[in-house]
A and B are shown apart, each in its own frame.
Chain A
Amino acid sequence: EAGVAQSPRYKIIEKRQSVAFWCNPISGHATLYWYQQILGQGPKLLIQFQNNGVVDDSQLPKDRFSAERLKGVDSTLKIQPAKLEDSAVYLCASSFWPWAGQGTDTQYFGPGTRLTVL
């Protein structure tokens, strides 16, 4: 079974530029998460999709961050314009469905994208 795919693995941009990250979850997984992991910290949830609908984006800086999951499969996270403090690893995770039974809410993570903003 293929895991969660993310691209690119690394990205370096200048501040005020825009950047986009792509995530393809495990086949059949309805739930998709984007986390931001700043160096030395644990991941923090930015946004969560259930199929193609947003169920939690309370910690997403909506003035500069946006995300979509149009067909309920893969997802794109965009930052425009980027700030120095956006330098972090962006992790995508997926799970089958919350609360459908033991283990179905286990989150599987992709390899992440390391973003450096200069």
Chain B
Amino acid sequence: AQTVTQSQPEMSVQEAETVTLSCTYDTSENNYYLFWYKQPPSRQMILVIRQEAYKQQNATENRFSVNFQKAAKSFSLKISDSQLGDTAMYFCAFMNRTDSWGKLQFGAGTQVVVTP
């Protein structure tokens, strides 16, 4: 079974600054995807970024980028130029491509608070 660990319950950052969220996972699989989802107070989960494990290049989406360290089983998210609208819970998630039909295994989440 896979586990996803987010060790930071809450992070605070000022507008325009950079914050990095950590995520580690445990798996014996080699074919998987990793995701970061954002959940604002409205509760709607929104995909921020995805990373295929077979790709060495780190994924980026505008101000969001990841540092994927496969050997270390680490998948951190960097939010650059933070904006007030980035305030939300951020969940790291794992998808095993070998024996599942796309089931997501989520971490416990990190609350990000962006202050003016």
Contacts and interface: CB of A to CB of B under 8 A. Distances in A.
Contacts of B43: 89, 91, 111-112, 114
Interface in B1-29: 4
Given A42-B108, A99-B97, A93 B103 contact: no
B101 A98 contact: yes
Contact of B101 (A55, A108, A114): A55
B62 interface: no
A36 B77 CA distance: 24
Interface string A65-98: 0000000000000000000000001010101001
Given A41-B108, A42-B108, A91 B101 contact: no
Interface residues of B, number: 23
A31 B106 contact: no
A75 B33 CA distance: 27
Nearest to B106: A42
A21 interface: no
Contacts of A111: 42-44
A42 B107 contact: yes
Contacts of B91: 42-43
Given A31-B102, A56-B100, A98-B101, A40 B108 contact: yes
A45 B45 contact: no
A112 B47 contact: no
A107 B44 contact: no
A95 B102 contact: yes
A106 interface: yes
Interface in A1-44: 31, 33, 40-44
B50 A48 contact: no
Interface string B24-49: 00000000010001000011111100
A99 B97 CA distance: 8
B84 interface: no
A93 B35 CA distance: 15
9 contacts: A42-B108, A43-B106, A98-B102, A99-B97, A99-B102, A105-B102, A109-B44, A109-B45, A111-B43
Interface of A: 31, 33, 40-45, 48, 50, 55-56, 89, 91, 93, 95, 98-99, 105-112, 114
